[in-house]
Amino acid sequence: MPSKRVLKFYPALRLASLEKFIADGEPLPLLVDDALVNFDNQRARAALKVLGELAASIQAIFSTHHQHMVHLATKAVDGQILHIQELIAT
């Protein structure tokens, strides 16, 4: 099993490779599914801010079933970029 240090470093590598593709003129959409579930609020807010900044250049979709992540996103991401879509169970 990878160490916690490696698990924290991996998202940074992924974002760096995505930024390289953007700089090379090959924008890719980013789909993130509950990737911040083990982050504390401070780190999650910082990561959401980075995703919001990326969303100015690419399509970034972040899905979660944790309501507190939605609250953090509303604080960390510009309201002109952020769109929240809630799915209601029937």
Average pLDDT for 22-28: 79
> Is 90 a member of any domain?
no
> Is 16 a member of any domain?
yes
- Cα–Cα–Cα angle for 26, 13, 31, nearest 5°? 55
> Is 53 a member of any domain?
yes
pTM: 0.77
Q: Does residue 25 have a pLDDT over 90?
A: no
Q: Does residue 48 have a pLDDT over 60?
A: yes
Q: Tell me what pLDDT residue 87 has.
A: 87
> Is 82 a member of any domain?
no
Number of domains present in the structure of the chain: 1
Q: Are 15 and 54 in contact (CB under 8 A)?
A: yes
Rg value, the chain, Cα: 14
Rounded CA separation 21/5 (Å): 25
* Residue range of the domain that includes 64: 4-76
Handedness of CA 20, 73, 46, 78 (dihedral sign): positive
> Is 87 a member of any domain?
no
